[in-house]
Structure 1
């Protein structure tokens, strides 16, 4: 499977979470502890929204229409360009993904995150027996979106199905419809437990995260503790200085070794990190 991280809050350098904690996300590209594989070396990707227009630094403006992508097919631990980029690029909302292929080719168009307009999407997991269901899933994508599919992964198909089912208007309902459609398609093809996923998506203002699997044994997903609590626990830790109270990190697997920093997402749940109060709720697939 894969490892991923989504950050929302005060603008920071990407390297603060990609490289500096011990263990870091980059460490997980070689030594993941909670993934299906220890090594996640089939490419990587980072997507971010511009610092000067991110809502975290200018509260009364919308996020940029088009986020920036940097993706590569080398293992993340071996890419010097990623290291250079991370130490010189700041953002208040960014995604980072380490890929472990479940069968599709190692190529740039198959590396997460995926982008459509101002939306980013990344996924850990798989549609089981994707090859048996692929034709039906592809044909359900809105014709106006079909030409935007560049790669061959189940993850990108999931993204375009979610867009088809209304991601830009109601992300939670759209992802519930997407999963409901995949599960219904799986039943028609005799596929048992077709969906396994943790997903993050963003429009540059808010961040949505989902944890779900058909068999209710989903891959791990964690969210960071409220910043006020972290400062109380670690008053002398410089990592928390200057970060806003709304700063949150969502990860497939914890980064860093401090206790009390990470809380697991419940099984079959979603979370919304947004200006103001965050939201956590139950995730229930629905008939699209």
Structure 2
């Protein structure tokens, strides 16, 4: 149910992208249609592989190992994480019928962040195995992929007027709210636009952090590539330290800024939710119940 500003997602880089790929069928936002969620999870291993391949351009040997690792990941995820998500969906159905608050929304965000960190922790060793075998050509492929993503970020958030940026953020927000609540009314749309207008989101600052993370990862991967004594354990540690710097930027003040963005997103969600009609809340309960049903069907054979 997360509806935090697109800016918080825009800071994701390689390992976070990998993690999203590994749980592409689920995603923490759970915003696909119920039938699509069931289908997507069933195809999750293939979708995850193609997602990763798009960044790493895997060779034949890497492909065999990655498919094995992805299968292992999904076996763990079905058995360990799906029951957790099902329980949360039941709780969210209850929350959807009542008034909300900033603190309550942020508590749910913390729940999702903890789930994300468990996914990262499970993904580190497979990614370390891949990192140890990446070639210079593959690192160049990754950099080209980054460059394309960076151009898209600049196009959407930097090389635009303030109103165009708000329009883009508004569209992204609606893509997250309306699958849950149904169409927002004029009052809600006006409130959402005003909330976005007041957001502390700074595209230039966010982009600088994105570029820092990308450069940090490329440097980490090159060091692993150059060190012939690297083991899976030391490579895993190197990636863990890199991800620690993702979660807690070494740039002075950025961690506080990021926390402020999250808090602002919590305020936005609570404000919009508290304007929803009984019909919209009933719609949200129905959607969340559908997600629960789908995840139960996916997990049932296991």
TM range (shorter): under 0.3
| Higher normalized strand content (fraction of residues) | 1
Report which structure shows greater RCO (CA 8 Å, sep ≥6).
2
| Higher normalized helix content (fraction of residues) | 2
> Based on CA coordinates, which of the two structures has the bigger radius of gyration?
2
TM-score by length of 1: 0.27
